[in-house]
Amino acid sequence: MTRAQAARQVKAGIYEVGAIDRDRRLFDELIPLPDGTSYNAYLIQGSERTALLDTVDPPKIDLLFEHLEQLGVTDIDYVISHHAEQDHSGGIPAMLERYPGAKVVTNAKCRDMLMDLLCLGEEEFLTVEDGQELSLGGRTLRFIKLPWVHWPETMASYLPEDRILFSCDFFGAHLATGTLFAGEERAVYEAAQRYYAEIMMPFRGQITKNLEKIKDLPLEIIAPSHGPIYDNPRFILEAYRDWVSDKVKNEVVLAYVSMHGSTKKMAEYLAEALIKRRITVKQFDLAELDLGKLAMGIVDAATLVMGAPTVLTGAHPLAAYAALVVNALRPKTKFVALIGSYGWAGKMVEELTGLFTRLKVELLEPVLARGYPREADFAALDRLADAVLAKHQEIGIAR
């Protein structure tokens, strides 16, 4: 058997003991993981007590055990559960079996969810409140409820003596890397933005409140449950403040699917028309959809244009799927337009606009071509480009 990577020291008496998963390519059977992921768990040794912060996805539990053995850990007093989702909590039953004296420490909502998900008994838990502290001897864990990053029960632990925030999924990044600390690497920024776009963006309002809740904490390190540790917390905090703000950029996400070339021709023409008007265009062929890249594209874009042909009088299923995804992610996009082609009749526009129920957007005039686009259709696309430019100028992001 290949030996696991060694437990990694964060500070004296504090170790990252989780697992790197380089081979995983899909999360929740939905979210692409082009760079794998990690399940970070942290061991904190005080002078009197030892705590394990989160566990790992169950298939990786042996790696967690090996790391604890490397450190000579024979007793664990507390298993802190920040979040009930199984990639963090799934190893708890095995941990309690190996360390029967340990108590699971979490909030009441997470406790109830863990009892449902893992069939744990109430006697296994020590339930804590927001702001409550737990002494390990020379080190203190302060628990901070941070709901909806990204489940309602999520909390974090703050270690004031070392100025470390163990933030769980908050500030995470699906990135399998042997590098412990993030620094300001571009790869980490992009992975963190992808993680935000796919998972956190629907909860932008709650994230804004949670950022406010932690803003006065003295921080030297932010240690999330996925990806590298931030040894420069300002790097990720500033990124999040930008992403959750109401500011949009002079950008258009142009996502389309085309069966016989008509919609593709319209999308290509519109893209050039927008570029001529000094608008940045991010173009996506939905037939080759990477959900994460589409999500990243709409984090800051002011406008979304969806292109689709009509299939049996309705919208192409790939366009409908993309519309459902965008609607679920709830970006801060301001404007939406539809383009596409049809053969004889259809309800494509009505179907797609009906899928954007959770977006606070203004719908621009659609452009539909019967068959292959002609001069009148290209003229309509030019008018759409003019309309997009005018809207961007109205909100002060374009010249």
- CATH number of the domain enclosing 159: 3.60.15.10
Q: Please state, as a whole number, how many other Cβ atoms lie within 10 Å of the Cβ of residue 219.
A: 18
Note the pLDDT of residue 104.
98
pLDDT of residue 32: 82
Angle in degrees, CA 241, 242, 244, rounded to 5: 65
| Residue 201 included in any domain | yes
Residue 293 identity: K
**What total of structural domains would you count in the chain?**
2
- Angstrom distance (rounded) from CA 211 to CA 226: 19
Name the stretches of the chain with pLDDT < 70: 1-4, 184
* Whether residue 153 is found in the same domain as residue 266: no
382: part of which helix (H) or strand (E)? helix 375-394
Assess contact for 235 and 182: CB atoms under 8 A: yes
193 and 280 belong to one structural domain: no
**Spatial separation of the C-alpha atoms in residues 6 and 354, rounded to whole Å:** 52
Residues 216, 266 share a domain: no
With respect to residue 398, please indicate whether it lies within any of the assigned structural domains: no
- Residue 2 has a pLDDT of 44
Tell me what pLDDT residue 184 has.
67
Domain of residue 87 covers 8-244
Q: Mark whether 66 and 112 lie in a shared domain.
A: yes
Task: Yes or no: say if 284 and 294 are a contact pair by the CB < 8 Å rule.
Answer: yes
CATH number, position 349:
3.40.50.360
Residues 287 and 147 in one domain: no
Give residues with Cβ within 8 angstroms of 65, minimum separation 6: 94, 98
Residue 375's Cβ-count burial label (10 Å; 0-12, 13-18, 19+) is exposed
Q: Are 263 and 269 in contact (CB under 8 A)?
A: no
What are the pLDDT digits (tens) for 107-146? 999 999 999 999 999 999 999 999 999 999 999 999 999 9
For residues 184 and 267, membership in a common domain is answered with no
Q: Looking at the structure, tell me whether residues 228 and 336 fall in a common domain.
A: no
The pLDDT of residue 1: 37
Q: Which of 244, 275, 303 is the last residue of a domain?
A: 244
Out of 222, 244, 266, pick the residue that ends a domain: 244
Residue 2 lies in a domain: no
252 burial via Cβ count (<10 Å: 0-12, 13-18, 19+): buried
Q: What is the pLDDT of residue 185?
A: 74
Kindly state whether residues 163 and 129 are assigned to the same domain: yes
Give the length of the chain: 399
Decide if 399 is inside a domain. Answer: no
